[in-house]
A and B are shown apart, each in its own frame.
Chain A
């Protein structure tokens, strides 16, 4: 029973991370119809950037964090202004799989390459923000970093929910996703929302990278794995539904922990992927795969 409890805690913690990346992917997909496959790379840049500024350059930790987040935001802004503007708002508007997948895919490669140039190929992590031994409640153990991740997930996830549900900006966002032409006609600047959410999700991803990295440690290549899980969880949430993406992320995290604990530590992931593939094939429509991306 205790094993189950601890696995559940571990599962929910990783699940919360997946869920947050999935939410980032699906919220931006709603606005832009582009899948952000670089979301994990922003997380990686956040973690490695803070580590570099704090440990190597010797900046105070809060300054290092703020600087890193500012750089991420600035980079995301410039990328949107230069690349996405030409791709989506240019004279011949591109659509279909090229835009949906391949621009952010190229971005992911680019960021990884830059990270390799700046930070090298070793495993690093941002310093733990909350130091100390793991907390215990009976025989249940809580990693402090894990609790921090959960706290961030609740706060940021909650803020997102409130924003989408209760503010005019959130409504406009929803409208941009449903029908961007229609939204423009009623006076919503869909491009501004695309930029806002892109920069916002990049910063959120970087924050999660910083908070999470003490648990796992990152290299310049870690981004792809994170993007992949975020993409998968978003996919199981039908891409347009952040709420379902969040649940899917938690589900995948818990399932992964349970398979690792009860089935096989070595083949847990293999079984997990097989189960996920089977789910897609069995209920594509119910999971929201059909009509999610056209062309």
Chain B
């Protein structure tokens, strides 16, 4: 059940609660293992049993797809090909080298992993649709190769003598049931690994990666590496599915690798529920059951699949898993029990939940808004030295004159258009600095050059004496550069707490595989809860971000940027869309921050800029045309003609 509800925002709170009671990923694994074993033992020798085992082979593949395609939204059409690699690999080792299937499987898996790393390091450079189209070629190439070369039976297919059950002298029934049990064990393992990943700290990273790759990179997610890991994971799961397919079916048809097989896998995933591991397993079961039924349905399987997919998606885009989750929570509220829904914030951050905030939380939105405002009023209070100063800047008041950031004659051209021309500026370790300029002056581009999402055409970006011009955004994040975006870039479908917690996973250098064992999600959530508390926003922790007001969303973004305790905080128009009163509250927060960290602010509100900044840069047509304190700023004719207008 755990994985089933993990990603669904409707039950985010409940899932966290479940996670704190049972070890992560154990519930779905236990369900799959128990149901599977019972089914195989009772019906293993009958037709229904063979359909069930075949479905389990596919379910291993779709469990990987749920992580890669559904949850992380990395659409790569590589599954059918790697299913083929697994199946043909086992068939080849079994027929030509007489290796038992069970021994051939790990060899083939290692081979597939290596192949996937090779292939993945090329294709995962692409994102989104480019990744989908590039990998769409893989099954087309593979099927051309198999039928063209007559590789292992070519278009006819490859039979293999061995069975998945290792003993060749075993009777048919033992081989059938034993093979089935091995498949179930491997499926349970696959479900366990997938569910552990989705509920770990990496799962949170992957969710962000799926929603918006650029934001993920700015929050320190090592996007290239995560994308490669996801690709390899999907491929290895597929190869494992293919290997046991070969072992149980004792035949590898060419159709296993062709694009239709890929489409069939996608149908299973989306009918079952794209973001849920259990959903993916259910999808594989449902489709294989329908295909295996020898009646009108299996003859007209295309019509049935088409209708079923349409209806399920219309009812709930999260598939059958989504429908079941909704039904369960509906039944719970209907029965009046539902204690889980009234519980406080998740994980180890439970202690931050104050009762009043919780009441506001469960109340309708209209009632929640006043509490929201009250919290922001607290902000001004919290902005007194104690709260925030403890949270921000470990550096302490060292040498205030030391240069933290140096921009050395940076140029940026897009095609023939010059956006930044010879921009140089230096920022010290503490203080608040503003960047102003008319629209199109290059302000956001300069911020992106510092943040790393836009490489400069020429020039250098130096942080603490080290040249970081060529460093990717996530590495700059580890070095202490944190930012907000001009338009709010929060992760929809996740709570405020999780949105902030993403930034607390910083320096998460470890690979996906180590996270299966250990997750730092609880620590990250605790750190996020502390940051929210310091900003007086703890009562918002469990709210889904898109239900917040714009001011609160901007504050959440600010909290997210502050949570990792950055040395350099880049804020892109934090006041846009805020009312005058809200701006004053923001000004208080900013001034407090400035005493401990370096804040670099892009802002159109000249009054706010002059009020809070100690030094102001004005950019016009890509050049710095003014550089001075607020007093000069107010009186400067250049500034007046450019920004105030004649």
Contacts and interface: CB of A to CB of B under 8 A. Distances in A.
A80 to B, nearest CB: 13
B127 A284 contact: yes
Interface residues of B, number: 42
A162 to B, nearest CB: 30
Given A109-B267, A116-B300, A273 B137 contact: yes
A96 B492 CA distance: 13
A87 B130 contact: no
Size band of the interface chain A makes with B: 35 or more
B366 interface: no
A281 B122 contact: yes
B548 interface: no
A290 B130 contact: yes
A219 B309 CA distance: 23
Given A106-B309, A224-B260, A117 B137 contact: no
Q: DSSP majority for the A interface?
A: helix
B361 to A, nearest CB: 22
Contact of A290 (B123, B128, B309): B128
Interface stretch (B44-52, B138-146, B170-178): B138-146
A110 B302 CA distance: 6
Contact of B133 (A97, A98, A280): A280
A232 B133 contact: yes
A91 to B, nearest CB: 12
A18 to B, nearest CB: 15
B309 A281 contact: no
B129 A293 contact: yes
Interface string A255-295: 00000000000110110011011001100100101101111
Given A87-B313, A281-B122, A267 B148 contact: yes
A237 to B, nearest CB: 12
A94 interface: yes
A97 B305 contact: no
A105 interface: yes
Contacts of A224: 259-260, 263
Q: Which of A96, A273, A293 has its CB near the most chain B CB atoms (within 10 A)?
A: A273
Nearest to B307: A110
B260 A270 contact: no
Interface string B295-317: 00000111111110110011001
A273 B300 CA distance: 31
Contact of A270 (B148, B307, B317): B148
A212 interface: no
Contact of B313 (A102, A110, A270): A102
Contacts of B317: 94, 96, 98-99
A263 to B, nearest CB: 13
A120 to B, nearest CB: 12
A113 B148 contact: no
A28 B140 CA distance: 26
A108 B267 CA distance: 12
B128 A289 contact: yes
B302 to A, nearest CB: 3
A231 to B, nearest CB: 8
Given A224-B259, A289-B133, A113 B122 contact: no
A273 B144 contact: yes
Contacts of A235: 129, 133
Contacts of B123: 277, 281
Nearest to B135: A277
Nearest to A220: B302
Given A113-B301, A235-B129, A273-B140, A280 B306 contact: no
B309 A105 contact: yes
Interface string B239-276: 00000000000000000000110010011001000100
Interface string A128-163: 000000000000000000000000000000000000
B125 interface: yes
A270 B141 contact: yes
Contacts of A105: 263, 266-267, 309
B455 to A, nearest CB: 13
Contact of A98 (B267, B306, B313): B313
A117 B211 contact: no
B417 to A, nearest CB: 16
Given A103-B313, A106-B309, A281 B304 contact: no
B134 interface: yes
A271 to B, nearest CB: 9
Contacts of B133: 232, 235, 276-277, 280, 289
B270 A269 contact: no
B126 interface: yes
A106 B128 contact: no
A114 B301 CA distance: 10
A281 B313 contact: no
B383 to A, nearest CB: 36
A59 B33 CA distance: 59
B144 A106 contact: no
B73 interface: yes
B302 A112 contact: yes
B75 A97 contact: yes
B303 A103 contact: no
A145 B310 CA distance: 37
A161 B496 CA distance: 48
A228 interface: yes
Interface string A221-235: 100100010001001
A107 interface: yes
B72 to A, nearest CB: 12
A292 B313 contact: no
Q: Which of A87, A112, A284, A290 has its CB near the most chain B CB atoms (within 10 A)?
A: A284
A63 interface: no
B314 A83 contact: yes
A98 B270 contact: yes
B259 A292 contact: no
B366 to A, nearest CB: 20
Given A98-B270, A224-B259, A293-B129, A270 B144 contact: yes
B141 A273 contact: yes
A98 B123 CA distance: 23
A86 B313 CA distance: 10
A110 B304 CA distance: 7
B309 A277 contact: no
A280 B302 contact: no
Contacts of A87: 313-314
Given A87-B313, A109-B306, 5 more contacts: A102-B313, A109-B302, A289-B130, A290-B128, A293-B129
In the complex, the 3 A-B pairs of residues with the closest C-beta atoms, listed nearest first: A110-B306, A113-B302, A113-B303
12 contacts: A83-B310, A83-B314, A94-B317, A105-B267, A105-B309, A106-B305, A109-B305, A113-B305, A274-B141, A280-B133, A281-B134, A290-B128
Interface of B: 73, 75, 122-123, 125-130, 133-138, 140-141, 144-145, 148, 211, 259-260, 263, 266-267, 270, 274, 300-307, 309-310, 313-314, 317
Interface of A: 83, 86-87, 94, 96-99, 102-103, 105-114, 116-117, 221, 224, 228, 232, 235, 239, 266-267, 269-270, 273-274, 276-277, 280-281, 284, 287, 289-290, 292-295
